[in-house]
Chains A and B, each alone.
Chain A
Amino acid sequence: MLDDDALRELLPRLRRFALWLIRDPASADDLVQASLEKALSRWAGKRAGGELRAWLFSILYRQFLDGQRRQRRQAALLALLGRQPEQDSPPPEQGLQAHATLAAFEQLPAEQRALLILVGVEGLSYAEAACTLDMPIGTVMSRLSRARKALRALEEGDTPGPRLRRQK
Chain B
Amino acid sequence: MTDVPPLLTTADGRPLKAALASAQGRARRKAFYLVAPLLLFVVFSFILPIGQMLHRSIYHDGFSSTAPNLSAWFAANPSGTEPDEAAFAALAADLAEMKKNKTAGEAATRINYTVSATRSLFTATARKADKLQPPFKEALLAEDAKWGEPVIWQAMRAASNPYTTDFYLIATDRARGADGGIEQVPENERIYLWLFGKTFILSGLITFICLILAFPIAHLLATLPMAKSNLLMILVLLPFWTSLLVRTTSWIVLLQGQGVVNNILVSLGMIGEDGRITMIYNQTGTIIVMTHILLPFMVLPLYSVMRTIKPSYARAARSLGATSWTTFRRIYLPQTLPGIGAGALLVFILAVGYYITPALVGGADGQLISNLIQFHMSKSNWSLAAALSGMLLVGVLLLYWLYDRLVGIDKLKLG
Answer yes or no: do A and B interact.
no
- Enumerate chain A interface residues (CB-CB to B < 8 A): none
